[in-house]
Amino acid sequence: MFSMAGAAMFLPFLPMLPTQILLNNFLYDFAQITIPTDNIDPIYVREPQRWNISLIRKFMLIIGPVSSLYEPRRLRIRRQAR
């Protein structure tokens, strides 16, 4: 959503209509309803688990820039299609 807000400042059109943003938020919220009913393995409940920070860091360093490079291209293609 931050990329859409940033794109709205520089593009001559709105990247998403307000109804599309509301639908996007609703679908995300609906997906989060399943979290409280998630069944966790008993071993994870008995003792706290350590996070694999290096794996998270690698994921962020790869997916973050790829996503940031992909978004302007997608908006440019959408703009040309109009």
Which tens digit of pLDDT belongs to each residue from 16-75? 788 888 998 999 999 888 888 888 888 888 888 889 999 999 999 999 888 888 887 877
Tell me the two tokens of residue 52. Answer: 């694999």
Bin 37: left if φ > 0, else alpha if -120 < ψ < 50, else beta: alpha
- Calpha distance 68→70 (Å, rounded): 6
Nearest-angstrom CA–CA distance, 70 and 82: 19
The pLDDT value given to residue 2 = 65
Host domain of residue 41 = 2-81
Confidence at residue 75, expressed as pLDDT on a 0 to 100 scale: 77
Work out the pLDDT band at 80, boundaries 50, 70, 90. confident
**How many distinct structural domains can be found in the chain?**
1
For residue 15, give both structure tokens.
Answer: 């990247």
Per-residue confidence (pLDDT) for residue 55, from 0 to 100: 96
Task: For residues 25 and 68, give the distance between their C-alpha atoms in angstroms, rounded to a whole number.
Answer: 20
Q: How far apart are CA 77 and CA 82, in angstroms?
A: 9
Question: Does the global pTM surpass 0.85?
Answer: no
